[in-house]
Amino acid sequence: MFSHAIARIPGPDYPQGLTTSTLPAPDLDLALAQHDAYVRCLKSLGLTVDVLPPAPGFPDACFVEDTAVVVREVAVVSRPGAPSRQGEADSMVEPLSAHRPLARITDPGTLDGGDILQVDKRFFIGVSDRTNEEGARQLAAILAGHGYQSDIIHVAAGLHLKSSLNYVGENTMLVTADFAGHPAIKGFRQIVCPEGEEYAANTLLVNGTLIMPSGYPRTRALLETLGLPIAQLDTSEYRKMDGGLTCLSLRLESPVS
C-alpha cells in the first residue's frame, strides 16, 4: 500500500517542454486544474501528498516520476536521458531525502523513471531512447542489493516502457499490441488496449483502485473485468507533452523500519 506521494506543480514554461506529439500546445490553466484533480484523487485513496512548487527553467519537471525510483529501502535518484532534464533529478534530492536513504545513477548511465515498472519484488526496466543499458545495469545492481529481481526489456515503440506496459493488479498487465505476448511478461494475464486507445495503457494502480485516463471506453470495459474500482481523470494537457498518469507522481510505500 502506498502511504505517500510527491508531485510537482507545472510551471509557467510547461508548454515549452519536450514532446514528440503533434497535438496543439497545452493550455496551462487547464493543465493546472487537471494536476489539482490528480492530487485530490491520490489523497482520496489515502496518500499524503507533498506538492512541490514549479522548478524554474525545467518545463518538464512536473513529470517527477522520471527523476527517481523509490522502494521501501532506498530512493534511487535517476539521471534523465534528455540532457535538458538532468537538473530535475538534482532538485529532487532534498524532497526524497526526507523519506529514504539515497542512491544515484551516475554517468554514463541514463535512466528515466517512466521506464521502470515494479510488481512486488520484481522490476521491469526498459531500455529506451531515455534509459540506456548502463543506467539499467546500475539500477538492477542497486535493487539487487535489497532483494529485488530485474528484467531488462528493450522498448521499440513509445517514449517509455510505461507508455506500453503497466501492472493493473490481479496478476494482470495492461499492454499495447506491440507488447502483447512479450516473453518478459509470460505468466501474467494480459489485457491489450484496443486499437486507437493505446494511450490508456498508462493506467495507474494505487491502493486497489485503477486510475485511468478518461475517454477510452473500450479499455475501461476490459479493465472492469478485474472487479477493481476505477477512477477516470482527464489528462488531455499531459498527453500533449508525452505525459500520463504514472508520470505525475512518485508513490511511496511505508519505509522499512
Please answer whether residues 127 and 93 qualify as being in contact, where contact means their C-beta atoms are separated by less than 8 angstroms: no
SS3 54: coil
- Answer yes or no: 247 catalytic: yes
Distance of alpha carbon 197 from alpha carbon 203, whole angstroms: 12
Strands 149-154 and 122-127, how do they pair?
Answer: parallel
Annotation marks residue 41 as catalytic: no
Q: Residue 138, Cα to own-chain centre: how many angstroms?
A: 19
Per the CB < 8 A criterion, the answer to whether 93 and 102 are in contact is yes
Grid coordinates representing 170?
490481479
- Contact residues for 145 (Cβ-Cβ < 8 A; gap 6+): none
Cα-Cα-Cα-Cα torsion 251, 165, 68, 23, nearest 10 degrees, comes to -100
- Distance (Å) of CA 45 to CA 7, 123, 230: 15, 24, 12
Which entry of 4, 160, 182, 193 is annotated as an active-site residue?
160
Burial class (CB in 10 A: 0-12, 13-18, 19+), 248: buried
| Residues marked as catalytic | 160, 247
